[in-house]
Amino acid sequence: MEIKKVFIAGAGLMGSGIAQVCAQAGLEVILCDVGPEVLEKASKNIAWSAGKLIEKGKTAGPLEAVMGRIATTTDYGRASEADLCLEAAFEKLEVKKDIFARLDAVARPEALLASNTSAISISTLAAGTKRPEMVLGLHFFSPAPMMEAVEVVRGQFTGDEVFEAGRRFVLQIGKEPILVHKDVPGFLINRINFPAALEAMRLVEMGVAGIEDVDKGLRLASGRKMGIFETGDLVGLDVTHGALLAIYEETKDPRWYPPAVLRRRVQAGWLGRKTGRGWYEYGPDGTRLGPTKA
């Protein structure tokens, strides 16, 4: 299963980042979303990010060649051209199921169908298609151009050749595959990291410490490059909230339910760097100003 062309459904932070990674690795990319404004913004962000990496010598140029490998469209029919169709939409089951139904209807029989979900069951998504054995998880971490790991997730129905093709694809685009052999809620890395993030939120909610001290302590005492709340703002509070809810809905274990301190921010539209306010507030140029006063 050689992958030369990738169709990506969703041109947000993750979808555009994955498109950039694939194009930098020499693959042809078709990036799809609902409207031209979203796609134009994604193209600008990709050009800026890839340009910076080329300037620093971290990826091969020229920029025109990288951008020339990325086509944008609002037409799901173009998924028929791809060897791999990857869903990178909002972390909500019904949204992802709808996208998978569209992809299943037009993708070639031999094409792989993958989801970038961080927590929703791959098996559930696969069950809604006519080719469940061709479905797998390819969970990139944010920001995709910088993070080296990609989880390759085997769903209940994923075929051995498909799982292996996912592993090879991750290597092909210059990333390191993390093999997840069972489709458990939250997969592997989030299943390990989320309990710490939840405890940090609850401690802040109790008034034990502020978010700046939590982040500083984790950087200085635990060797993290970024604190939990800094990372949360980068990923997006809505993404974290959606992933936690997905795990909670599947397990019904109350320890996974998003704490009020997270729910309130999401309800207020304070989603992190992309909205200028999340756990921290940010200036017009993206400079962090300090903790958000909730």
187-201 tens-digit pLDDT: 999 999 999 999 999
pLDDT at 294 over 80: no
> pLDDT value at position 61?
84
Q: Residues 173, 194: one domain?
A: no
Residue 215 lies in a domain: yes
Annotated catalytic residue within 28, 87, 151, 230: 151
Tokens 């498109």 found at = 19
Q: How many domains does the chain have?
A: 2
Condensed to tens digits (0 to 9), the pLDDT of residues 41-59 reads 999 999 999 999 999 999 9
Phi/psi of residue 108, each to 5°? Answer: -65, 150
Q: Residues 58, 142: one domain?
A: yes
Tokens 């971290």 found at = 58
Condensed to tens digits (0 to 9), the pLDDT of residues 231-245 reads 999 999 999 999 999
Annotated catalytic residue within 28, 115, 190, 230: 190
Report residue 95 as tokens. Answer: 């949204």
Last residue of some domain: 145, 180, 215?
180
Any catalytic annotation for residue 181? no
Annotated catalytic residue within 49, 116, 118, 123: 118
pLDDT at 1 over 80: no
Mean pLDDT, the chain, rounded, equals 96
> pLDDT value at position 121?
95
> pLDDT value at position 77?
97
Last residue of some domain: 133, 154, 180?
180
Q: Which amino acid is at 26?
A: G
Q: Residues 43, 71: one domain?
A: yes
Query: What's the rounded mean pLDDT across residues 260-271?
Result: 97
Q: Residues 37, 161: one domain?
A: yes
> pLDDT value at position 293?
85
Angle at 133 between CA 128 and CA 134, to 5 degrees: 90
Condensed to tens digits (0 to 9), the pLDDT of residues 97-136 reads 999 999 999 999 999 999 999 999 999 999 999 999 999 9
CATH number at residue 195: 1.10.1040.50
23 touches 50 (CB < 8 A) = yes
Residue 185 lies in a domain: no
158 touches 201 (CB < 8 A) = no
Any catalytic annotation for residue 116? no
Any catalytic annotation for residue 190? yes
CATH number at residue 150: 3.40.50.720
pLDDT at 214 over 80: yes
Could you write out the three-class secondary structure of 112-152?
A: EEEECCCCCCHHHHHHCCCCHHHEEEEEECCCCCCCCEEEE
pLDDT at 62 over 90: yes
Residue 268 lies in a domain: yes
Quote the domain boundaries for residue 56. 5-180
Last residue of some domain: 151, 180, 209?
180
Q: Residues 48, 154: one domain?
A: yes
